[in-house]
Structures are given as C-alpha cells and as structure tokens.
C-alpha cells in the first residue's frame, strides 16, 4: 500500500493541471463568467497521470489513497469508483502506472495496456451517451482536451532494467518501436473523435534517482545512454507529430516538452530553491518507489519542498507546480 504522501505526489500533475482547464482563466485567475476552457479532459498514460486505476490490479504499482491538501479530485480514475454524471461529462483518466507504448511493458508488471485504455474509453463513451445523449456526447468529445503521457517506463524499465528488449533491439531501433506504437495510438485516439491532443514528451530518464542508482555508478551520475534514448525518442516523436498534423485527420497534436524544465530542475535545482536534486524524499531516496515509500515502514524526509523528487521516480508537489506552470506558459495558447 502506498502512503498518503505517495498518492498526493502521483496525482499532483492532474490536480495542478486541471483547474485552469476546466474553468476559464486569465493569468491563472478564475473568471467564472467566461466558462470552461475545454469541455472535458480525457487522459491516457502511465503513473504520472494515474489517479488510481491500478488499485484493484494484482500489481505492486498502486495509487490507492485519496488526494489530500483539501483539494477535490477533479479528474477521477475510470476504474474502482462509481462515476457521477458530472464526472462523465468533464472527463476521466484511464492511465495505468508503469504502462507504455511497447506492448511488453504492461505485461511485465501486470498493468493496463494502452490498448485496454482505449477499450475503456469506448466503454466510457457509451456511458456518457446514456447520461447526455449522442449529440451532447459528440460536442463534449469534440471540445475535450486529450492528454497522452507514456514512454518513460518503456525506456527506464523494459529496455534498461529488464533483459527482454535490449538483447533484440539497439537503442535507435527500440525508439522506432516506441514511436510506431505512439503513432498508432494517436491515430486511434483521433479516430475516436479527439480534435486536440497534448502529447507529453520524455524527461531526462537517466537523471531520475532510480536510474542514477541503477546506471550511474558509485557516484550516481546521470546515466547518459538513458538520456540519449530519451532525446532520440523526443526528436522522432516530434517528427511523427509533425507528419500527423500535416495530414487530413482534423486532429491537432501538441508536443509538450518536459525534458528541458526537468533537466533544469535536476541540474540547477538551487535556482528554484531545491536543496536535493538526486535523491527522493522517501527512504534512502535512491531506489524506493510506490509501495516501497510506505511511511509505516520507511522514513520520509522532514521537508519535502526541498526535494525535486518525492520517490526515486516521481517529482514532488513543488516540482510539479513548476512543471505545470512551464506547460501553461509555453503551450496554453495552442492547448485550448
């Protein structure tokens, strides 16, 4: 079981990203008279945007505590709870921690594949029709922002941590596999009515605490092969998105670069007031993640705001705030 702190951390991107989208804002100030920026937010992906879909799965990758801080969970998990008509109208997350574009990735850790997430979306659409009608459902889907956030687990876990893919693919060919999977997924999302999709790029994988521990040697330096894989993936993803946008699908895909801001947080953390950039807040900070961050069994740092990472893989609330602000500063005009 994960701790309350872990659950807050793992849903924080959604908690911070959604309020400005589901209500009209000007300079992040609420202006109710102008209505919402989007009709709904619909999310596919991995642990960064999983608010609890893994909870009933036979997997160690969980997000099974309600968010704290007095913040209402605006984007619920599709699975594990009864969704109200308003939940259905404003969108849900189908994301599953530790999944990826490589079809092997979710199999290794027994989580929900992206293909299954699409099937859940089809089921969700049927439920939305039952409460809103076909015409209103079409309007909601047409005006919704879709978010896709996956790929990091493919590189960090399936390729570099397990032996299954590295023996048959070099890094460029594995990146091609991921980009092909991402393109196929985006085409399927588009065919289901999505008109605007935010696609989250890959962070500097080699610099997150767990990958420093696994591949960075005794001094836990950033592991450059992982970072090079992430950079190659991001470049080829952007080329693929450019091709899609030049097609006739009627869907705009917006690439959201998080590599740059996360690299800055990790390499120049003192500029943002962070004292610790290479270790997570829980346990030793070097390898613990999800269930290994249960405060009943391991220590948690006294001042999480000083850390870029909560565990060995996911940022803290303060780091997420900086990331989300960067997304809004750079992409708001095209996201909505």
Q: Which residues are catalytic?
A: 47, 311, 314
Looking up tokens 């289901």 gives: 192
CA distance 153 to 313: 10
Where helices occur in the chain by DSSP H, the ranges are 4-22, 85-90, 104-109, 114-132, 134-143, 152-153, 171-191, 209-215, 224-245, 259-267, 317-335
Which is nearest to 114 in space by CA: 124, 99, 125? 99
Structure tokens at 328: 């809004």
Q: Give the neighbor-by-neighbor strand order of the sheet with 252-256.
A: 41-45, 145-149, 196-200, 252-256
CA distance 208 to 205: 6
CA distance 121 to 183: 18
How open is the CA angle 160-166-293, to the nearest 5 degrees?
20
Residue 158 carries which DSSP code? Answer: I
């Amino acid at each position: 079981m994960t701790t309350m702190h872990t659950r807050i951390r793992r849903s924080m991107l959604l908690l911070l990203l959604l309020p400005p989208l589901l209500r009209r804002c000007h300079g992040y100030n609420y202006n109710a008279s102008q209505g919402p920026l989007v009709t709904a937010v619909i999310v596919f992906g991995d642990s960064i945007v999983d608010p609890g879909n893994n909870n009933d799965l036979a997997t160690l990758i969980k997000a099974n505590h309600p968010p704290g801080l007095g913040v209402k969970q605006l984007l619920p998990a599709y699975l594990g709870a009864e969704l109200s008509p308003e939940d259905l109208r404003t969108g849900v997350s189908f994301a599953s921690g530790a999944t990826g574009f490589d079809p092997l990735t979710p199999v290794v850790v027994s989580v929900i594949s992206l293909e299954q997430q699409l099937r859940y979306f089809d089921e969700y659409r049927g439920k939305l029709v039952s409460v809103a009608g076909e015409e209103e459902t079409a309007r909601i889907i047409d005006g919704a922002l879709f978010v896709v956030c996956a790929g990091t687990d493919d590189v960090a876990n399936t390729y570099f941590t397990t032996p299954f893919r590295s023996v048959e693919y070099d890094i460029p060919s594995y990146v091609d596999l991921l980009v092909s999977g991402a393109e196929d997924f985006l085409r399927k999302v588009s065919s289901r009515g999505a008109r605007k999709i935010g696609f989250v790029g890959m962070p500097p994988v080699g610099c997150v605490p767990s990958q420093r521990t696994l591949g960075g040697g005794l001094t836990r330096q950033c592991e450059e092969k992982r970072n090079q894989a992430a950079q190659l993936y991001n470049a080829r993803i952007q080329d693929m998105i450019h091709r899609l946008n030049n097609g006739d699908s009627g869907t705009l895909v917006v690439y959201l670069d998080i590599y740059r801001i996360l690299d800055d947080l990790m390499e120049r953390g003192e500029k943002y007031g962070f004292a610790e950039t290479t270790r997570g807040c829980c346990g030793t900070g070097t390898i613990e993640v999800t269930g290994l961050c249960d405060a009943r069994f391991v220590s948690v740092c006294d001042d999480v705001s000083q850390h870029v990472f909560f565990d060995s893989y996911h940022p803290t609330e303060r780091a997420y705030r900086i990331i989300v602000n960067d997304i809004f500063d750079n992409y708001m005009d095209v996201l909505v």
